[in-house]
Amino acid sequence: MLSTGLLGAAIAPPGLDLQSSFIDLAQTMGLTPGAARLLWLPLPMLLVLVGAVVGVLVSVWLERKISAAVQQRIGPEYAGALGVLQPLADGLKLVFKEDIIPARADALLFSLGPVLVVVPVILSWLVVPFGQNLLISNVGVGIFLWIALSSIQPIGLLMSGYSSNNKYSLLGGLRAAAQSISYEIPLALAVLAVVMMSNSLSTVDIVAQQTGAGIFSWNIWRQPVGFVIFWICALAECERLPFDLPEAEEELVAGYQTEYSGMKFALFYLGSYINLVLSALLVSVLYLGGWSFPLPVEWITGWLGVSPDAPLVQVITGSIGIVSTILKAYLLVFFAILLRWTTPRVRIDQLLDLGWKFLLPIALVNLLVTAGLKLAFPVAFGG
Amino acid sequence: MSIASTTQQICFLVLSATTVLGALGVVLLPNIVYSAFLLGGVFLSVAGLYLLLNASFVAAAQILVYVGAVNVLILFAIMLVNKQETLAAIPGLLVRRLLSGAVCAGLFALLLRVAFTTPWALPGPTPVGEEATIRIGEHLFTDYLLPFELASVLLLMAMIGAIVLARRDVFSTDVITGEPADQGLIEKDRTPLLIETPATEPTLLSKP
């Protein structure tokens, strides 16, 4: 395990680069480089958007099926095989529902609120890597961009809570904002410890630092406390059940979404599930080695005696990368769903106590210990 | 003109228009909630301007600090104390508005004069791009160490002050009124909030 840091720094496989291949192909068909780039630009964005929405449909189906299994029911069964089309039916129902704006509500803010909740979440998919070059943009601020963007969301929640002109909505919006401010700090500190080990904010570099010795070089072994803090905070940011106070149905009807129906409600729904999948993906990027396979692909190609740069091998390793990223993320989504259907909700004072009095000091200590270990064992902790 | 520079031009125009109009809205709108939301919009478009200047770390920090913390706290404060009532008319409001307008116009003229008389170096220094994060870190821990530490001391002072103001039970008397401090919302042994003490409650047995 001590040698993982060195190995990770030494081996940086080139991987699949679809962008340059596409631009080369377009240029052979007689396009200028600028025009080829312009043609390329919307493709990954559309792909990731479609991927995010399909990810939501899958997790809604999983939520229905797993909750049914937990409660010893069968769950959706008739819409498609095993009810896989049920989330699609849910979505269609919401699209065709009447869009109601309450008479005394503030129509402008009421419509803008859900948009402000969804847009930052979708923008954050910009930095989620599925392979060395398989992401929309390898921006230098990487993971910090996600932290910054997720801090816009409470404004949308406050906006919809306020503009609904309903006391439950307002209370829900205030709770959501308080919760997301409290849990953002330990979350950012947990991320900071990982960033300190990889010497970079870029998600691609964070994953590259975890390759080398397969499963043993993943950050979860070096940052177990950080992993737990990050996962708890991510659940709190997504308002998943142990922390779903903003929409606690016994107390607040549905919190900030009480007055919403139709497509605006669907935006909240979509936003919360996209956020869940995004958080799971980022946990897998930060702590579970992202797209790296438990056995390093370089070893496997070495044993098979094939060159890792051959086009077919690159396509296969790229696909393995995408599949393992998604598998890791959905394993975490499964745990989140299981948690939702098996744990009771915390009270608001317990929630704030946990955030400020427990997670924040632990995250600070974790950061300090990581810094000390980085100085003491630069080989293992990315010196 | 290439596609990139045209896009940049359009983005700059849109961002500066939203900044200026949003800032005017923050000052001029009578509804304080609208002002607070518009302030968030202004902060976001300033972050967009930083992005256009190739300062992505500063842009992200601007969003995190100003939109995510400052603006959310402002909104929080407004919504916790917001009462739907019309304010009492202030005497001489027109004169006050004219005076503050004149002060603002004077400041604007001064800034315009500075902007037009300063010999700007064009084109400016080459942007460092992705290296900026490392450069900012180096500066913060070498030549800007003192301001950095002073800012953190300032924040600590504000935090301690807020705690002292909010927890008046640490004083035996109220700071403002001079009366013995007894805040109803803070749970004490003699006045529990949730559980009625059985001694004070007459039961069937103790009744005559």
A147: chain B residues, CB-CB within 8 Å: 60, 64
| pLDDT score recorded for residue B205 | 54
| pLDDT score recorded for residue A10 | 34
| pLDDT score recorded for residue A5 | 34
Question: Could you tell me which chain B residue has the CA closest to the CA of A161?
Answer: B79
Contact (Cβ atoms closer than 8 angstroms) between residue A187 and residue A231: no
Binary contact (A173, B79; C-beta < 8 A): yes
What one-letter code names the amino acid at A17? D
Nearest to A150 by CA among A319, A302, A63, A271: A271
Binary contact (B64, A177; C-beta < 8 A): no
Contact (Cβ atoms closer than 8 angstroms) between residue A222 and residue A197: yes
Binary contact (A181, B129; C-beta < 8 A): no
Q: What is the pTM of this model?
A: 0.81
| pLDDT score recorded for residue A189 | 92
Residues paired with residue B180 on neighbouring β-strands, in sequence order: B173
Q: How far apart are alpha carbons A300 and A298 in whole angstroms?
A: 5
Q: How far apart are alpha carbons A247 and A175 in whole angstroms?
A: 9
Question: Could you tell me which chain B residue has the CA closest to the CA of A169?
Answer: B79
Would you list the DSSP string of B131-147? GHHHHHHHHHHTTTHHH
| pLDDT score recorded for residue A3 | 32
| pLDDT score recorded for residue A280 | 92
Binary contact (B64, A148; C-beta < 8 A): yes
| pLDDT score recorded for residue A362 | 93
Measure B2 CA to nearest chain A CA, in Å.
9
Which residues of chain A are under the pLDDT cut of 70? 1-16, 383
Q: Which of residues 120-179 of B touch A (CB under 8 A)?
A: 129-130, 132-133
Binary contact (B57, A141; C-beta < 8 A): yes
CB-facing half-sphere around the CA of A276: CA atoms within 13 A: 27
| pLDDT score recorded for residue B18 | 93
Q: How far apart are alpha carbons A177 and A237 in whole angstroms?
A: 10
Measure B64 CA to nearest chain A CA, in Å.
4
Which of A38, A147, A170 has the CB atom closest to B64's CB atom? Answer: A147
Q: How many CB atoms lie within 10 A of CB A330?
A: 18
**Looking at this predicted complex, what is its ipTM?**
0.81
Contact (Cβ atoms closer than 8 angstroms) between residue A374 and residue A277: no
| pLDDT score recorded for residue A13 | 44
Binary contact (A162, B132; C-beta < 8 A): no
Binary contact (A140, B133; C-beta < 8 A): yes
Binary contact (B67, A144; C-beta < 8 A): no
Q: How many CB atoms lie within 10 A of CB B206?
A: 8
End-to-end alpha carbon distance in chain A: 15
A357: chain B residues, CB-CB within 8 Å: none
Measure A203 CA to nearest chain B CA, in Å.
14
Contact (Cβ atoms closer than 8 angstroms) between residue A113 and residue A157: yes
- Residues contacting A198, CB < 8 A, separation 6+: A205, A206, A208, A209, A382
Measure A216 CA to nearest chain B CA, in Å.
29
Return the HEC string of chain A.
Answer: CCCHHHHHHHCCCCCCCHHHHHHHHHHHCCCCHHHHHHHHCHHHHHHHHHHHHHHHHHHHHHHHHHHHHHCCCCCCCCCCHHHCCHHHHHHHHHHHCCCCCCCCCCHHHHHHHHHHHHHHHHHHHHHCCCCCCCCCCCCCCHHHHHHHHHCCHHHHHHHHHHHCCCHHHHHHHHHHHHHHHHHHHHHHHHHHHHHHHHCCCCHHHHHHCCCCCHHHHCHHHHCHHHHHHHHHHHHHHHCCHHHCHHHCHHHHCCHHHCCCCHHHHHHHHHHHHHHHHHHHHHHHHHCCCCCCCCCCHHHHHHHHCCCCCCHHHHHHHHHHHHHHHHHHHHHHHHHHHHHHHHCCCCCHHHHHHHHHHHHHHHHHHHHHHHHHHHHHCCCCCCC
Query: Which pLDDT tens digits describe chain B residue by residue (208 residues)?
Result: 577 788 888 999 999 999 999 999 988 888 888 888 999 999 999 999 988 888 888 888 899 889 888 898 888 888 877 666 666 777 788 888 899 999 999 999 999 999 999 888 877 777 777 778 888 888 888 999 999 899 999 999 998 888 887 776 555 565 566 666 555 555 555 555 555 555 555 555 554 4
With tokens 């003192």, the residue in question is: B146
C-alpha distances in angstroms, B140 versus A142, A190, B135, B150? 21, 22, 9, 12
